[in-house]
Structure 1
């Protein structure tokens, strides 16, 4: 099977976000990032919000056109990818369950053959079932079995082919069979041997447990996973210690949902975040993402922007310099992870 074949190198990536942090990524599996020395090279673009008409982000009624046709969202996705690339973003993140995100990304890459320095990641394990509707009873169905991996890997390869660098298990939890399925591990190890980078993402209140369990997965005595993508933001910091352990073990850490599905953006942001944003003269979104960027283990932090203006505001995170007092005040926002994920689960698809 085809997959990302360009290999990986370790390198020092510059960032003006937290100058005191050593940004050496000993296992950064993305060779094209070696040349990306702009402050925004540590910010990636996730396509969950624009690859399908329905999602749980707050404010989607304002962010997307009322007529969310395939062509309208294809155009929006391409506009975002153009803007992101022009401003130094080099990692783009899709998934089989993000509607047509892989298709949109593949078309953008095909139309821009000179863009050969980007890193492309996708995920398998959820099947999109909403049929391009915001009113579906179920928008996605989770299955981490070998048959789903084989089917979805073939679907991803048909769209992204050898532009795919990173393939991740979507939303591992401690009870996922993907943690113990030896046949699946052999499939993933085969893909890695053929040049793909194999990773996983996590969700739920027990992310730390899932991360530590995945770190213990080996094939022929070698660790299977090279990257981890987890939710971490001002409201849910529970995965932080485990992500630090993953980084120490040589994995590249990708952070998703740094905006807590819109809860950390205007007008929903907590008062303390609004106050710090006013002090920095930048948006709540930039401050929220800057708080994540300053973590020494954060290799790539995803923007989930749905508009070009949102993306531009998100990218200001790279120049936010938070002082210790501001960090401490923002740290008080952290919630119990069970309460955080319960609230997330109640967010409507719209």
Structure 2
């Protein structure tokens, strides 16, 4: 598996990945985008911003980059960066299919993305991803699987994914919603010819939403690489929005609230890659301090009290505006 390149990396930031959801399109649900991106959200401006982030992340040891068909032009931006840097051969590239971007490069669109886990959508989006990333793609994930997703039961889709895996592509899935644990466990049971289909899982896990933790530990024990997304809870754990207890612990450590929030995730033994969703170079630099955060038992106990009931967390997330 390509993730073995991360497991043997020597830099402490190797287990932090960079996700491009926030910079591959003009509109997203992260808090603070007005300050992060400003008014110029043209294709050229976000392409340049993405390339700056990729340059900085790579220079500091980050080796996993995460995009998706629905993240606007994220695949295109990443593909351009890789083409311009042919010497960069040691990175792992993951993308996702299952959502179609429909916002037309507008932050104010009525609908930003449409979910469809059908075989027809897989065939279309797989071809679109291949046209941009070609053989640089290492991991292809089903985007936001829920317990009722047809992707968990569609045998024809499973066969097609297994064919892709036979060519060397790693097949994975991501999860969203209050029943993430159920989705993870259901996906672990999916097999083709008696062999597990999925080799990675990407789930939301952070100081506010910890419900998937036991299922992710099971996935890790089953041999899957666990990728954690939304470790910053879409900006809710970053200054100035961070809860008081997180700010207090951050002050005690001398590092940012974002670094502490990501450190909470990094300490989980099952967390293989934890994504930074930084939109600025300053955010990225602060996120990359997470491996240096040393939390004691008292601090961990205080931070554990931040966990919310899953449905309440996801209702709050669902109410965040695209902007």
- TM-score, length basis structure 1: 0.92
Secondary structure at the aligned position of 2:173 is classed as: strand
The higher-RCO structure (CA 8 Å, 6+ apart) is 1
Q: In structure 2, which of residues 82, 90, 110 is the aligned counterpart of residue 109 of structure 1?
A: 82
Distance 1:30 1:292 in 2: 18
Alignment partners' CA distance in 2, 1:246 and 1:333: 24
Structure 1 counterpart of 2:298: 325
| Mapping for residues 1-350 of structure 1, pairs under 5 Å | 8=1, 29-350=2-323
Which residue number in structure 2 is paired with residue 21 of structure 1? Answer: none
**How far apart, in 2, do the equivalents of 1:88 and 1:36 lie?**
9
Distance in 2 of aligned mates of 1:348 and 1:33: 35
CA contact (8 A) 2:237 2:257 kept: yes
Q: Which 10-residue stretch deviates more, 31-40 or 315-324?
A: 31-40
Query: What are the Cα deviations for residues 104-142 of structure 1, in whole angstroms up to 9, with x where unaligned?
Result: 000000000000000000000000000000110000000
Shift of 1:33: 2.4
Task: Report how far residue 67 of structure 1 moved.
Answer: 1.5
**Deviations along 1:134-161, whole A, 9 cap, x unmatched?**
1100000000000000000000000000
Q: Identify unmatched segments of 5+ residues in structure 1.
A: 1-7, 9-28
Report deviation, 1:31: 4.0
Take 1:325 and 1:105, find their aligned partners in 2: how far apart are those partners? 41
User: Deviation of residue 30 (structure 1)?
Assistant: 2.0
Structure 1 SS opposite 2:227: strand
Report the Cα offset of residue 270 of structure 1. Answer: 0.4
Root mean square deviation of aligned Cα: 0.7
Q: Kindly state the Cα deviation for residue 65 of structure 1 after the two structures are TM-superposed.
A: 2.8
CA distance in structure 2 between the aligned counterparts of 1:163 and 1:81, rounded to whole angstroms: 15
The answer to whether the Cα contact below 8 Å between 1:259 and 1:288 also exists between their aligned partners in 2 is: yes
Q: Does the residue aligned with 1:149 lie in a helix, a strand or coil?
A: helix
Is the partner of 2:95 in helix, strand or coil? Answer: strand
The TM-score with structure 2 as length reference comes to 0.99
1:3 aligns with none
Deviation for aligned residue 1:35:
4.9
